[in-house]
Amino acid sequence: MSYFLSSLNRMFVFNGRARRLEFWWYFLICVDLFAVWALILMACGVFSSRASFLSSEYLIAIPLVPFYMAFFSLMVRRSHDMGYSGWLVVAFALLLAAGFLALYYASKMSYFPLLFPLFLAFGLKRGQRAPNKYGEAPPMLFFRPKKPAAAL
């Protein structure tokens, strides 16, 4: 959870580096939050046949915008960890946006299957262990349990 909160706190930080673990924790928690948000909207009847365009698609996307922005900055820091420029992420985001537009307006899957391996590369490729031009290697966050209080 600390990786997720760390990424949210650094939403507008595009310099530095991010570990694979931070990337995957943030991604998994965002998927869970999206699923919970979709379930809440389903329980409220937003996805019913009588729901309008404004009440269904925008209600899904608008509250998640801060999470998208934090994920974008996390991907930039992740590319820095691998030694690549952050502009690679901008190109990836433009391809993704064009794919969504093609899917929405033309109902064609276009090149979405080709983008999935690129996404996996961000999460699976090991970062550089040594310092690079984007900074030192990111520190590892550890979860240390608190020691129990001594019994009286």
Tokens at residue 75, please? Answer: 């991907």
**Tokens in use for 142?**
């550890």
The rounded distance, in Å, linking the Cα atoms of 44 and 21 is 35
pLDDT tens, per residue, the chain with 152 residues: 677 777 777 888 888 888 888 888 888 898 888 888 888 877 877 666 555 555 566 667 777 788 888 888 989 999 999 989 989 888 888 877 777 777 667 666 666 666 777 778 878 888 888 889 988 887 776 555 556 566 55
pTM for the predicted model, two decimal places? 0.74
